[in-house]
């Protein structure tokens, strides 16, 4: 079975300028690029672009891949591969992971599996619509071994955590993530993380971190992350690089300089970013990390999902505080007491910082979307890639479109060790997206976020069409992507 996409503008994922030609899909691979002979099926790509399928390097889709297997909230945005297990929240060990699964998917029944090997096997037994690459989550591992203890691990506990990291690596994970603002990861000192990250030595796995601070102590947090990479020799990935809180706007200029310095000294340091001035996280973590105080910010903290009180979704903490006639912090506490898994959207960044980070050569694209599909998730869940292409590249020129495509395909595949993916290249896997370069744009607002972007016409995963003419096909051709050490 062959399919030719004819006469399309080919962005090959390398960042070089596109050229018009044909792409041949032959079973699950790209059979030819450029001039292509007859094929069983044809798509007229005139006026359209074809690019490698987008790789969402920062997701929390570990369980959505099991519960919402079509994954259309991603594939309709052009995504063909999701990297799961970010911010310290991993898919195993099962008992600790199922707590996290509950917070995003309160109604779902989680299938039993054993370890990361079991999780990857579960994906293979019931494949989702997109490919899944996996990071092991330090927070989940720490929870499994130490519960909510706030102290350093004993030697025995360290050995147990180490053993779980090794199990994950043997199963084929692409790296280890931390979430150093969350329970229980926030209680880990740098030494604990260095020790566990050292298990990655001799592999192609990377260390990805939701750092300890993204506000006034951003630079200390970046230094900690770079130190972990320097002391272990493991590549590091700074998750959702940003400076949050008005007083800290502009700090990314210095954090980017720290990245430049580390790269100049030969270290592998990269970052990912979602293209919005609002973030989204657990309200509990916002409180614990004092991410808003009464005078600054309660207006900009809006309930995104609250399964116990869905009527609060869409309302700001300031608004709830006014209704209840209490201080905003007290209102936030009341929401957390009612539902500890409440997620909020936080309007806390500035546009120049978003553009500065995006333009920097260390940055790739990752949505950080939280698949709370029944609630009001941050629109980044669906729209991240279309927004980078349409708003930041085409309209604002922050990046050329070829470079924007590279930051969501080839660069990402190389960084996360995805073999034969991320490029439009003969012999590579046929993960492809056909989009309208003149019209692609994000949709969805914070009030009405559950909308798909415009201009993503066709999406192929391993040669199988998962979106055709904007409509999901229901196909489930995704694969579990295991690490290949070279």
Calculate Rg over the CA atoms of the chain: 21
Looking at the Cβ atoms of 87 and 466, the one nearer to Zn ion is 87
Looking at the Cβ atoms of 238 and 424, the one nearer to Zn ion is 238
Q: Which residues pair with 88 in a beta bridge?
A: none
In the complex, the smallest distance separating the C-beta of residue 64 from Zn ion, rounded to whole angstroms, is 16
Looking at the Cβ atoms of 87 and 194, the one nearer to Zn ion is 87
Looking at the Cβ atoms of 237 and 443, the one nearer to Zn ion is 237
Q: What angle do CA 241, 247, 249 make, to 5 degrees?
A: 35
In the complex, the smallest distance separating the C-beta of residue 209 from Zn ion, rounded to whole angstroms, is 9
Determine the 3-state secondary structure of 472 from DSSP: strand
Residues with Cβ within 8 Å of residue 261, at least 6 apart in sequence: none
In the complex, the smallest distance separating the C-beta of residue 391 from Zn ion, rounded to whole angstroms, is 22
In the complex, the smallest distance separating the C-beta of residue 327 from Zn ion, rounded to whole angstroms, is 27
In the complex, the smallest distance separating the C-beta of residue 240 from Zn ion, rounded to whole angstroms, is 6
Nearest C-alpha neighbor of 349 from the set 182, 215, 238: 215
Looking at the Cβ atoms of 210 and 421, the one nearer to Zn ion is 210
Cα 405 from Cα 388, distance rounded (Å):
9
In the complex, the smallest distance separating the C-beta of residue 132 from Zn ion, rounded to whole angstroms, is 18
87 scored as a contact of Zn ion (CB under 5 A): yes
Looking at the Cβ atoms of 210 and 242, the one nearer to Zn ion is 210
Asked whether 357 and 52 are in contact (CB, 8 A), the reply is no
Question: Tokens 């995704």 correspond to what residue?
Answer: 478
Looking at the Cβ atoms of 87 and 251, the one nearer to Zn ion is 87
In the complex, the smallest distance separating the C-beta of residue 303 from Zn ion, rounded to whole angstroms, is 18
Asked whether 1 and 29 are in contact (CB, 8 A), the reply is no
Footprint on residues 323-382 left by Zn ion (CB under 5 A)? none
Q: Which stretch binds Zn ion (CB under 5 A): 43-51, 85-93, 391-399, 450-458?
A: 85-93
Determine the 3-state secondary structure of 322 from DSSP: helix
Looking at the Cβ atoms of 87 and 269, the one nearer to Zn ion is 87
212 scored as a contact of Zn ion (CB under 5 A): no
Q: What angle do CA 202, 189, 369 make, to 5 degrees?
A: 75
In the complex, the smallest distance separating the C-beta of residue 185 from Zn ion, rounded to whole angstroms, is 10
Count of residues touching Zn ion (by CB under 5 A): 2
Looking at the Cβ atoms of 187 and 406, the one nearer to Zn ion is 187
In the list 60, 74, 138, 210, the residue contacting Zn ion (rule: CB under 5 A) is: 210
Q: Which stretch binds Zn ion (CB under 5 A): 38-46, 188-196, 206-214, 249-257?
A: 206-214
Cα 316 from Cα 329, distance rounded (Å):
12
- Classify the C-alpha dihedral 302-305-308-314 as positive or negative: positive
Nearest C-alpha neighbor of 127 from the set 191, 48, 70, 87: 70
Q: Which residues pair with 131 in a beta bridge?
A: 81
In the complex, the smallest distance separating the C-beta of residue 415 from Zn ion, rounded to whole angstroms, is 17
Residue 156: exposure state from Cβ atoms within 10 A (0-12, 13-18, ≥19): exposed
In b/e form, how buried is each residue of 309-325, taking b as 16+ CB within 10 angstroms? eeebbbbbbbbbbeeee
Residue 445: exposure state from Cβ atoms within 10 A (0-12, 13-18, ≥19): exposed
Q: Which stretch binds Zn ion (CB under 5 A): 13-21, 25-33, 82-90, 307-315?
A: 82-90
Looking at the Cβ atoms of 241 and 458, the one nearer to Zn ion is 241
5 scored as a contact of Zn ion (CB under 5 A): no
In the complex, the smallest distance separating the C-beta of residue 109 from Zn ion, rounded to whole angstroms, is 26
In the complex, the smallest distance separating the C-beta of residue 67 from Zn ion, rounded to whole angstroms, is 21
Residue 391: exposure state from Cβ atoms within 10 A (0-12, 13-18, ≥19): middle
In the complex, the smallest distance separating the C-beta of residue 210 from Zn ion, rounded to whole angstroms, is 3
Cα 450 from Cα 452, distance rounded (Å):
7
Cα 434 from Cα 45, distance rounded (Å):
8
Footprint on residues 279-298 left by Zn ion (CB under 5 A)? none
Looking at the Cβ atoms of 209 and 232, the one nearer to Zn ion is 209
Looking at the Cβ atoms of 5 and 283, the one nearer to Zn ion is 283
Question: Tokens 């996290």 correspond to what residue?
Answer: 100
Cα 83 from Cα 113, distance rounded (Å):
19
Residues near Zn ion (CB under 5 A) are 87, 210
């Amino acid at each position: 079975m062959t399919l030719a996409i004819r006469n399309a503008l080919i962005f090959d994922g390398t960042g070089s300028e596109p050229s018009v030609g044909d792409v041949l899909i032959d079973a699950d691979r790209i059979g030819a690029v450029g001039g292509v002979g007859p094929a069983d099926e044809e798509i007229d790509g005139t006026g359209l672009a074809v690019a490698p399928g987008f790789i969402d390097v920062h997701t929390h889709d570990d369980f959505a891949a099991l519960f919402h297997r079509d994954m259309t909230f991603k594939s309709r945005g052009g995504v063909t591969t999701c990297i799961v297990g970010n911010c310290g929240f991993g898919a195993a060990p099962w008992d600790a992971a199922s707590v996290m699964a509950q917070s995003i998917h309160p109604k779902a029944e989680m299938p039993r599996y054993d370890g990361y090997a079991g999780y990857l096997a579960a994906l293979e037994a019931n494949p989702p619509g997109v490919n899944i690459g996996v990071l092991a989550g330090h927070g989940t591992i720490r929870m499994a071994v130490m519960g909510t203890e706030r102290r350093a691990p004993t030697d025995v506990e360290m050995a147990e955590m180490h053993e779980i990291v090794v199990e994950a690596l043997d199963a084929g994970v692409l790296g280890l993530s931390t979430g150093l603002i969350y329970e229980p990861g926030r209680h880990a000192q740098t030494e604990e993380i260095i020790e566990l990250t050292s298990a990655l030595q001799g592999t192609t796995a990377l260390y990805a971190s939701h750092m300890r601070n993204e506000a006034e102590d951003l630079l200390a947090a970046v230094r900690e992350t770079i130190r972990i990479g320097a002391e272990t020799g493991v590549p590091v990935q700074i998750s959702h690089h940003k400076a949050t809180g008005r007083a800290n706007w502009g700090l990314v200029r210095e954090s980017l300089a720290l990245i430049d310095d580390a790269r100049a000294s030969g270290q592998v340091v990269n970052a990912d970013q979602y293209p919005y001035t609002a973030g989204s996280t657990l309200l509990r973590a916002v409180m614990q990390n004092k991410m808003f105080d009464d005078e600054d910010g309660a207006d900009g903290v809006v309930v995104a999902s609250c399964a116990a009180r869905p009527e609060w979704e869409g309302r700001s903490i300031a608004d709830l505080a006014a209704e209840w006639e209490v201080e905003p912090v007290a209102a936030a506490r009341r929401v957390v007491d009612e539902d500890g898994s409440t997620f909020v959207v936080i309007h806390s960044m500035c546009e120049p910082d978003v553009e500065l980070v995006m333009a920097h050569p260390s940055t790739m694209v990752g949505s950080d979307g939280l698949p709370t599909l029944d609630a009001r998730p941050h629109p980044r869940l669906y729209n991240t890639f279309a927004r980078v292409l349409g708003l930041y590249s085409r309209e604002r020129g922050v990046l050329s479109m070829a470079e924007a495509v590279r930051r969501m395909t080839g660069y990402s595949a190389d960084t996360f060790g995805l073999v034969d993916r991320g490029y439009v290249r003969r012999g590579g896997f046929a993960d492809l997206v056909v989009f309208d370069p003149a019209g692609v744009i994000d949709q969805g607002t914070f009030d009405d976020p559950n909308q798909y972007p415009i201009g993503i016409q066709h999406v192929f995963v391993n040669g199988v069409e998962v979106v055709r003419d904007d409509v999901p096909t229901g196909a489930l051709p995704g694969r579990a992507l295991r690490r290949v050490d070279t």
